[in-house]
Amino acid sequence: MGPIAVPPPATDVITDLIDEHVRQLGGRFHSEYYQTHEPVGRHTTLGGATVETRVLARFQRHHSGERQRLVTVGAEARCLGHGCTEPSSGETLTDPVPLDTNRHEVAESALPHIETATRWAQAHAERCRAQTYTSR
Ligand SMILES: [Zn+2]
């Protein structure tokens, strides 16, 4: 048996996404508006496909006033199986908060959404017969 891969806590993945965004804001061709995601959990369906639990981070800027930068975080579960009839749990997101809000607080605010997405992923994996694309 190989070494056991211990995934980083989902909250660390979110703080990394925010760090990454702030870093690229210092660059010349930075982007103020985008949404990014990163897998934080995986389940395998009856058919052998993967259901990913993903954290989401959306970055934007107020259109008026001081044009404050904002961040929204959340989660989604997505089935990557071929022919899956219900491949997404839907995205659930927190309310936008200023980008300079404490990152750990921001990350922790996503926890209920991550739990919901993980439960969906688990339940979906137990009944989905979709297979991986490569196994066709
Ligand atoms: Zn599925």
Kindly report, residue by residue over 20-68, the tens digit of the pLDDT.
999 999 999 899 999 999 999 999 999 999 999 999 999 999 877 778 9
Secondary structure E strands in the chain: 34-44, 50-61, 69-79, 92-93, 97-98
Nearest to 56 by CA among 83, 85, 23, 21: 21
Ligand 1 center from residue 94 Cα (angstroms):
25
Ligand 1 center from residue 130 Cα (angstroms):
5
Total domains in the chain come to 1
Ligand 1 center from residue 50 Cα (angstroms):
8
Ligand 1 center from residue 40 Cα (angstroms):
17
Asked if residue 5 belongs to a domain, the reply is no
Task: For residue 124, give its domain range.
Answer: 10-20+31-130
Asked if residue 110 belongs to a domain, the reply is yes
Block residue for tokens 């990014």: 36
pTM: 0.87
